[in-house]
Amino acid sequence: MIELNNVSKWYNDYQVLKDCTLTVERGEIVVICGPSGSGKSTLIKTVNALEPFQEGSIRVHGMEVGAPDTDLPALRARVGMVFQSFELFPHMTILQNVMIGQRVVLSRSSSDAEAQARRLLDRVGMADHAHKYPAQLSGGQQQRVAIARALAMDPMAILFDEPTSALDPEMVSEVLDVMTSLAKEGMTMMVVTHEMGFARRVATRMVFIDRGEIIENCPTEEFFGGTRNPRTEAFLGKILNH
Amino acid sequence: MNWSWSGFFGYLVNPFILGGVWTTIWLTVVSLVAGLALGFVIALMRRSSSRPVAMLAGFYVWLFRGTPLLVQLIIIYTALPVLGIRLSVVESALIGLALNEAAYLAEIIRAGIEAVPQGQVRAGRAIGMKERDIMRHIVMPQAFKIIIPPLGNSVNGLLKTTSVTSVISMEELLRRTQVLIQEKFMVLELFAVAAIYYLAMTTLWDLVQRRIEAHFGKSSAIGAAEKR
Closest CA to B29 of B168, B201, B146: B201
Query: A124 near A144, Cβ under 8 Å?
Result: yes
Bridge-partner residues for A218, per DSSP?
A206
pLDDT for residue A97? 97
Closest CA to A202 of A214, A212, A210, A190: A190
CA closest to A48 among chain B residues: B126
Instruction: Write A204-208 long-range contacts (CB < 8 A, 24+).
Output: A204/A27, A204/A28, A204/A29, A204/A30, A205/A28, A205/A29, A205/A30, A205/A31, A206/A30, A206/A31, A206/A33, A207/A22, A207/A30, A207/A31, A207/A32, A207/A33, A208/A32, A208/A33, A208/A34, A208/A232, A208/A235
Task: State how far the Cα of A207 lies from the Cα of A31, in Å rounded to an integer.
Answer: 6
> Per-residue confidence of chain A (242 residues) as pLDDT tens digits?
899 999 999 998 899 999 999 999 999 999 999 998 899 999 999 999 999 999 999 999 888 998 888 999 999 999 999 999 999 999 999 999 999 999 999 999 999 999 999 999 999 999 999 999 999 999 999 999 999 999 999 999 999 999 999 999 999 999 999 999 999 999 999 999 999 999 999 999 999 999 999 999 999 998 888 777 888 888 888 877 65
pLDDT for residue A232? 85
Q: Going edge to edge, which strands form the sheet with A55-60? A: A14-24, A2-11, A55-60, A63-64
DSSP 8-state code for residue A167: S
DSSP 8-state code for residue B139: I
Please spell the DSSP secondary structure of B54-69, one letter per residue: HHHHHHHHHHHHHS-H
DSSP 8-state code for residue A55: E
CA closest to B144 among chain A residues: A91
Task: State how far the Cα of B178 lies from the Cα of B38, in Å rounded to an integer.
Answer: 32
Domains and CATH numbers, chain A: 2-240 (3.40.50.300)
Query: A80 near B210, Cβ under 8 Å?
Result: no
C-alpha distance from residue A139 to each of A166, A170, B4, B210 (Å): 8, 10, 67, 31
Q: Please report the sign of the dihedral spanned by the C-alpha atoms of residue B161, residue B166, residue B167, residue B168.
A: positive
The total number of residues shown for chain B amounts to 228
Task: State how far the Cα of A185 lies from the Cα of A27, in Å rounded to an integer.
Answer: 9
Task: State how far the Cα of A189 lies from the Cα of A86, in Å rounded to an integer.
Answer: 17
pLDDT tens column, B21-73: 999 999 999 999 999 999 999 999 999 999 999 999 999 999 999 999 999 99
CB contact under 8 A, B122 and A150: no
Mean pLDDT of B205-228: 71
* pLDDT band at residue B228 using 50, 70 and 90 as cut-offs: very low
pLDDT for residue A202? 94
Q: Is the pLDDT of residue B222 over 60?
A: no
Closest CA to A102 of A91, A93, A94, A114: A114
Min Cα–Cα distance to chain B from A77, Å: 4
Q: What is the ipTM of this complex?
A: 0.92
Q: Is the pLDDT of residue B221 over 80?
A: no
Phi, psi torsion values for A19, nearest 5 degrees: 50, 45
* pLDDT band at residue B81 using 50, 70 and 90 as cut-offs: confident
- B 199-228 residues inside an 8 A Cβ radius of A: 219-220, 222-224, 226-228
Closest CA to B147 of B101, B107, B198: B107
DSSP 8-state code for residue B162: G
Min Cα–Cα distance to chain A from B123, Å: 6
Chosen from B49, B116, B121, B127 to mutate, greatest number of chain A CBs within 10 A: B127
Q: Is B130 on the interface with A (CB under 8 A)?
A: yes
Encoded amino acid at A240, one letter = L
Which residues of chain A are within 8 Å of residue B219 when distances are taken between CB atoms?
Answer: 90-92, 133, 135
pLDDT tens column, B137-180: 999 999 999 999 999 999 999 999 999 999 999 999 999 999 99
Q: Is B1 on the interface with A (CB under 8 A)?
A: no
Instruction: Please give the angle made by the CA atoms of B186, B191 and B195, to the nearest 5 degrees.
Output: 155
Chosen from A45, A89, A171 to mutate, greatest number of chain B CBs within 10 A: A89
pLDDT for residue A86? 95
Cβ-based neighbour number of residue B223 at 10 Å: 16
Find out if CATH 1.10.3720.10 is the number for domain B5-216. Answer: yes
pLDDT tens column, B83-129: 888 899 999 999 999 999 999 999 999 999 999 999 999 999 999 99
Give the contacts of B104 (CB within 8 A, at least 6 positions apart): B35, B39, B65, B154
Bridge-partner residues for A208, per DSSP?
A33, A216
CA closest to A148 among chain B residues: B127
pLDDT for residue A229? 84
Q: Which of A50, A100, A135 sits opposite B219 (nearest CB)?
A: A135
Please spell the DSSP secondary structure of B195-225, one letter per residue: HHHHHHHHHHHHHHHHHHHHHHTHHHHHHHH
β-pair type (A79-82, A63-64): unpaired
Task: State how far the Cα of A175 lies from the Cα of A11, in Å rounded to an integer.
Answer: 33
C-alpha distance from residue B188 to each of B7, B173, B191 (Å): 10, 15, 5
C-alpha distance from residue A120 to each of A52, A138, A145 (Å): 31, 18, 9
Closest CA to B126 of A161, A94, A64: A161
Task: State how far the Cα of B195 lies from the Cα of A203, in Å rounded to an integer.
Answer: 73
Task: State how far the Cα of B174 lies from the Cα of B166, in Å rounded to an integer.
Answer: 7
CB contact under 8 A, A50 and B122: yes
Q: Provide the whole-model pTM.
A: 0.85
Task: State how far the Cα of B110 lies from the Cα of B122, in Å rounded to an integer.
Answer: 19
CB contact under 8 A, B126 and A83: yes
